[in-house]
């Protein structure tokens, strides 16, 4: 993330009046932290609470540094930090698709999703996937905590947790790439795009099912971008909305 922020700063240096313009920056990250773990790659699903805590703490520390760097590098920016969906739901989405099962023998995209801790040749059992989703939920908790902490530390800097997709299931195989049955398909990208756009204007932060057919909100002259409320420690005490 540090390298990406430095590259972003480099690229934006050539944009006229960049500092004076309002910006939306979306941060959607965490899958690699969960899938790669530490040394063995199963820390997100092995049921060891110490491993889970270390993994979640590392994620929070990296995300905290990223948000601080964005805050200190850019003016007039609203940061959307996107919650993670329920990883364990991929098992059901993949069910009955022979290529998805064969692919596990060729390439492992995510240890906890592709390999059984029991050592068998089959897919992970439900207990392993439940442990995985417990870790995903802990990641989402940290996202929301950091968003609340950083939000409106300045009048021109907001951090909002996009919780629409939190703990939501991948609907079916059409939302997964034909290549690896793991990465999002074009349909999933469309669903995410609609969700991100609609969330910008929606004060209701209730998670909703992933659905690419959801209508796109059309803002009016009176619409405002939702930025929530300042953290208790912030000098800003009033709700701030950005047109």
Residue 227, in any domain of the structure: no
Q: Can you give the pLDDT at residue 191? A: 97
Residue 93, in any domain of the structure: yes
Residue 215, in any domain of the structure: no
pLDDT in tens, 126-143: 999 999 999 999 999 999
Give the total number of structural domains in the chain.
1
Tell me the CA distances in angstroms from 146 to 66, 81, 137, 159, 179, one per residue in order.
11, 9, 14, 8, 35
Q: Can you give the pLDDT at residue 56? A: 97
**Cβ–Cβ under 8 Å, residues 89 and 136:** no
State the chain's mean pLDDT as an integer.
Answer: 92
Residue 62, in any domain of the structure: yes
Quote the domain boundaries for residue 94: 20-200
DSSP for 84-141 reads P--GGGHHHHHTT-HHHHHHTTT--S-HHHHS-TT--SSPPPHHHHHHHHHHHHHHHH
Q: Can you give the pLDDT at residue 137? A: 98
Taking residues 99-108, what's their average pLDDT? 79
Q: Could you tell me the pLDDT band of residue 118, with boundaries at 50, 70 and 90?
A: confident
pLDDT in tens, 14-72: 999 999 999 999 999 999 999 999 888 899 999 999 999 999 999 999 999 999 999 99
Residue 238, in any domain of the structure: no
Sign of the CA dihedral with 11 first, then 15, 19, and 22 last: negative
Taking residues 215-236, what's their average pLDDT? 87
Gap between the Cα atoms of 100 and 107, Å rounded: 11
Taking CA 228 as the corner, what is the angle to CA 237 and CA 153, rounded to the nearest 5 degrees? 55
Residue 240, in any domain of the structure: no
Query: Count of CB atoms within 10 A of residue 117's CB?
Result: 17
Residue 140, in any domain of the structure: yes
Residue 96, in any domain of the structure: yes
DSSP helix/strand/coil, 71? helix
Query: Looking at the whole model, is its pTM more than 0.85?
Result: yes
Q: 104 is written with which tokens?
A: 């596990």
Taking residues 106-123, what's their average pLDDT? 84
């Amino acid at each position: 993330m540090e390298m990406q922020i430095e590259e972003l700063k480099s690229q934006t240096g050539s944009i006229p009046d960049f500092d004076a313009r309002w910006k939306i920056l979306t941060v959607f990250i965490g899958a690699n932290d969960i899938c790669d773990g530490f040394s063995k790659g199963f820390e997100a699903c092995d049921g060891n609470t110490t491993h889970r805590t270390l993994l979640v703490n590392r994620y929070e520390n990296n995300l905290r540094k990223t948000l601080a760097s964005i805050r200190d590098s850019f003016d007039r920016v609203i940061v959307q930090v996107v919650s993670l969906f329920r990883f364990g739901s991929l098992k059901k989405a993949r069910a009955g698709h022979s290529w998805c099962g064969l692919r596990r023998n060729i390439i492992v995209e995510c240890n906890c999703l592709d390999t059984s801790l029991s050592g068998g040749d089959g897919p992970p059992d439900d207990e392993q996937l439940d442990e995985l989703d417990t870790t995903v939920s802990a990641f989402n908790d940290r996202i929301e905590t950091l968003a609340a902490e950083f939000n409106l530390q300045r009048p021109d800097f907001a951090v909002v947790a996009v919780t629409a997709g939190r703990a939501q299931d991948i609907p079916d195989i059409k939302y997964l790439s034909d290549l690896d049955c793991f990465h999002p398909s074009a349909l999933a990208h469309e669903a995410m795009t609609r969700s991100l756009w609609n969330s910008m204007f929606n004060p209701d932060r209730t998670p909703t099912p992933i659905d690419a057919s959801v209508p796109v909100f059309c803002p009016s002259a009176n619409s405002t971008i939702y930025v929530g409320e300042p953290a208790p420690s912030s000098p800003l005490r009033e709700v701030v909305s950005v047109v």
